[in-house]
Amino acid sequence: MLVLLLPLMAMTAMAIKIDSPGPVFYRQQRLSRFGKALILLKFRSMAADAEPGGSPYWAQKQGQRITRIGRFIRTTRIDELPQLANVIRGEISLVGPRPERPHFVEQLARTVPFYRQRSYVKPGLTGWAQVNFRYGASVEDAREKLAYDL
């Protein structure tokens, strides 16, 4: 799959580089199975300084921090393709609950019953919640997506 998608990924990398200053890829710590940390690789879809001070923000489908190319690659989910490297390394599977950022896991575990149970299985590049629910940007969205994950 990675070999077949390589031309699309190369064009995406060039478009990101032309569209906005900053790196092509974005590395972000997420929590995997049983809360183990991993670094998730994505195409950068937001401005390079989107989280000043490193403070995490809920992602929004059409947020102001998103670049022009970023809007397209998020809508089409092309921004997730570099995670095939995470799949090859065995850190995530193709299908499973999406790995989440540690800050949000702590917040959601306090407010959403059974939230930590989603970590009992290996996270995935895509999951039932991504296929059946809109882009999640709140605690209520996370609660709804958890129902799909479980």
Residues 51-72 have pLDDT tens digits of 655 566 555 555 667 899 999 9
CA separation for the pair 142, 57 (Å, rounded): 14
pLDDT of residue 87: 95
Over residues 7-15, the mean pLDDT reads 97
User: Phi and psi dihedrals of 4, rounded to 5?
Assistant: -65, -35
pTM assigned to the model: 0.81
26 in Cβ contact with 44 (< 8 Å): yes
Residues 111-131 have pLDDT tens digits of 999 999 989 999 999 888 888
